[in-house]
A and B are shown apart, each in its own frame.
Chain A
Amino acid sequence: MVSSGFIIRAFTNWEKMMLYSLKKILFEHFAAKVFAIFTVLLIIISLAFMIFFVRQQKKSMEDALLRNGSLLSALLAYNARLGVFSENNEFLKDPVESVIGQEGVLKVSLYNQDEAFLVERHVSGEQFIDNTEKDPELKKVMDNIKATGEPFIKDNEQFLELWSPVVSESNYSTDDSLFFGKEASENKEKIIGFARIAVDKRPLIKQINALLINSILIAVIVLLTGLVVLYLLIRRISGPLNRLTEGVRMIGRGEPVEKLPEETSDEIGKLATAFNYMSESLRNREASLKESEEKYRQLFELESDAIFLIEDGTGTILEVNLTATKLYGYSRDEFLSINERDLSVVRKNETQLNNGNGISIPVYYHQKKDGTVFPVEISVTHLVWHGRDVRISAVRDVTERINAEEERAKLEDKLRHAQKMEAIGTLAGGIAHDFNNVLGIIVVNTELAMYDVTKERQAHENLEEIMKACLRARDMVRQILAFSRKDEARTRPVMVTPLVKESIKLFRTSVHDNINIIQEIHCESDIIMADPTQIHQILMNLYNNAAYVLNETGGTITIAMDNIKLVDGNIAEYPGLSPGRYLRLSVSDTGQGIHPDILGRIFDPYFTTKKFGEGTGMGLAIAHGIVKSHRGVITVESEPGTGAVFHVLLPVIEANIRIEDEYEMFCPTGTERILFVDDEKPIADAMDLLLSRLGYDVTSKTDSIDALRFFRDNHASFDLMITDLVMPHMTGLELAKEVFNIRPDLPIILCTGYSEMIDDEMISEAGITYRTTKPLVISEMANIIRDALDKKKT
Chain B
Amino acid sequence: MDTQRYQFIKDSILILTALLIFFFNASSVTAGNRILSVQSINVSPYQEALKGFQSVCNTDLESLIISEMKDKDLIKEIKKINPDIILTIGVDALEKIKGIDDVPVIYLMVPNPQSVLQNTLNTTGVRMNINQEEQVSEFLKAFPSMKTIGLLYNPERTGYLAQRAINACKKAGVDLIGKEIRDSRESPSEIKGMEGRINGFWMLPDVTVFTPESIEYLFLFSMNNKVPILTFSDVYLESGALISIGVDSFDMGVQAGGMAMEILSGKSVSAVQPVDARKKVITINMKVAGKLGVSIDESLFGDARFLK
Is the pair A178, B207 in contact by a Cβ cutoff of 8 Å?
yes
For A85, the chain B residues whose CB sits under 8 A away are 184-185, 188, 211, 213-214
For B44, the chain A residues whose CB sits under 8 A away are 183
Interface residues of A in 186-222 (CB under 8 A from B): none
Is the pair B43, A180 in contact by a Cβ cutoff of 8 Å?
yes
| Cα separation A177 to B188 with both chains bound (whole Å) | 20
| Cα separation A87 to B43 with both chains bound (whole Å) | 34
Is the pair B207, A174 in contact by a Cβ cutoff of 8 Å?
yes
- Answer whether residue B165 sits at the interface, using C-beta atoms and an 8 A cutoff: no
Tell me the minimal C-beta distance from B67 to chain A in angstroms. 9
| Cα separation A85 to B192 with both chains bound (whole Å) | 15
Name the residue of chain A whose CB is nearest to the CB of B186.
A86
| Cα separation A583 to B115 with both chains bound (whole Å) | 197
- Answer whether residue B236 sits at the interface, using C-beta atoms and an 8 A cutoff: yes
Is the pair A179, B212 in contact by a Cβ cutoff of 8 Å?
no
Interface residues on chain B, size class = 35 or more
Is the pair A176, B205 in contact by a Cβ cutoff of 8 Å?
yes
Is the pair A180, B205 in contact by a Cβ cutoff of 8 Å?
no
Q: Could you give, for residues 138-178 of chain A, a 1 whenever the CB lies within 8 Å of some chain B CB and a 0 otherwise?
A: 00000000000000000000000000000011111111111
- Answer whether residue A737 sits at the interface, using C-beta atoms and an 8 A cutoff: no
- Report the stretch among B75-83, B104-112, B134-142 that lies at the interface: B104-112
Which of A87, A172, A183 is B207 in contact with, Cβ under 8 Å? A172
Tell me the minimal C-beta distance from A340 to chain B in angstroms. 120
A86-B205 CB under 8 A given contacts A171-B211, A171-B212, A175-B157 = no
- Answer whether residue A523 sits at the interface, using C-beta atoms and an 8 A cutoff: no
- Answer whether residue A607 sits at the interface, using C-beta atoms and an 8 A cutoff: no
Tell me the minimal C-beta distance from B196 to chain A in angstroms. 16
| Cα separation A183 to B41 with both chains bound (whole Å) | 10
For B43, the chain A residues whose CB sits under 8 A away are 180, 183-184
Interface of chain B, helix or strand or loop or mixed? helix
Is the pair B41, A184 in contact by a Cβ cutoff of 8 Å?
yes
Interface residues of B in 77-126 (CB under 8 A from A): 90-92, 95, 109-112, 115
- Answer whether residue A91 sits at the interface, using C-beta atoms and an 8 A cutoff: yes
- Answer whether residue A476 sits at the interface, using C-beta atoms and an 8 A cutoff: no
Is the pair A82, B213 in contact by a Cβ cutoff of 8 Å?
yes
| Cα separation A172 to B40 with both chains bound (whole Å) | 13
Residues of A within 8 A of B (CB): 81-82, 85-88, 90-91, 168-185
Tell me the minimal C-beta distance from A792 to chain B in angstroms. 170
List 12 additional contacts besides A87-B185, A175-B112; criterion CB under 8 Å.
Answer: A88-B185, A91-B189, A173-B207, A175-B91, A175-B157, A176-B110, A177-B91, A178-B207, A179-B233, A183-B43, A183-B44, A184-B43
Is the pair B213, A172 in contact by a Cβ cutoff of 8 Å?
no
Which of B91, B185, B212, B232 is A174 in contact with, Cβ under 8 Å? B91
For A87, the chain B residues whose CB sits under 8 A away are 185
Tell me the minimal C-beta distance from B171 to chain A in angstroms. 24
Which among B184, B185, B213 has the greatest number of chain A C-beta atoms within 10 A?
B213
Is the pair A175, B189 in contact by a Cβ cutoff of 8 Å?
no
For B206, the chain A residues whose CB sits under 8 A away are 175, 178
Interface residues of B in 37-93 (CB under 8 A from A): 40-41, 43-45, 90-92
Which of A81, A82, A90, A178 is B205 in contact with, Cβ under 8 Å? A178
Name the residue of chain B whose CB is nearest to the CB of A172.
B207
Is the pair A90, B111 in contact by a Cβ cutoff of 8 Å?
no
Q: Could you give, for residues 1-37 of chain B, a 1 whenever the CB lies within 8 Å of some chain A CB and a 0 otherwise?
A: 0000000000000000000000000000000000000
For A90, the chain B residues whose CB sits under 8 A away are 189, 192
A-B contact pairs, 8 of them (CB 8 A): A88-B185, A91-B217, A172-B212, A175-B205, A176-B111, A177-B41, A179-B235, A180-B43
Which among A85, A86, A177 has the greatest number of chain B C-beta atoms within 10 A?
A86
Is the pair A168, B212 in contact by a Cβ cutoff of 8 Å?
yes
Name the residue of chain A whose CB is nearest to the CB of B244.
A179
Which among B45, B95, B158 has the greatest number of chain A C-beta atoms within 10 A?
B45
Is the pair A181, B236 in contact by a Cβ cutoff of 8 Å?
yes
For B91, the chain A residues whose CB sits under 8 A away are 174-177
- Answer whether residue B276 sits at the interface, using C-beta atoms and an 8 A cutoff: no
Tell me the minimal C-beta distance from B234 to chain A in angstroms. 9
| Cα separation A81 to B184 with both chains bound (whole Å) | 13
| Cα separation A183 to B236 with both chains bound (whole Å) | 12
Which among A168, A170, A173, A176 has the greatest number of chain B C-beta atoms within 10 A?
A176
Is the pair B232, A179 in contact by a Cβ cutoff of 8 Å?
yes
Is the pair A168, B205 in contact by a Cβ cutoff of 8 Å?
no
Tell me the minimal C-beta distance from A712 to chain B in angstroms. 166
For A171, the chain B residues whose CB sits under 8 A away are 184, 207, 211-212
| Cα separation A86 to B211 with both chains bound (whole Å) | 11
A168-B192 CB under 8 A given contacts A176-B109, A179-B235 = no
Interface residues of B in 224-256 (CB under 8 A from A): 232-233, 235-236, 246-247
Is the pair A178, B210 in contact by a Cβ cutoff of 8 Å?
yes
| Cα separation A252 to B59 with both chains bound (whole Å) | 118
For B214, the chain A residues whose CB sits under 8 A away are 82, 85
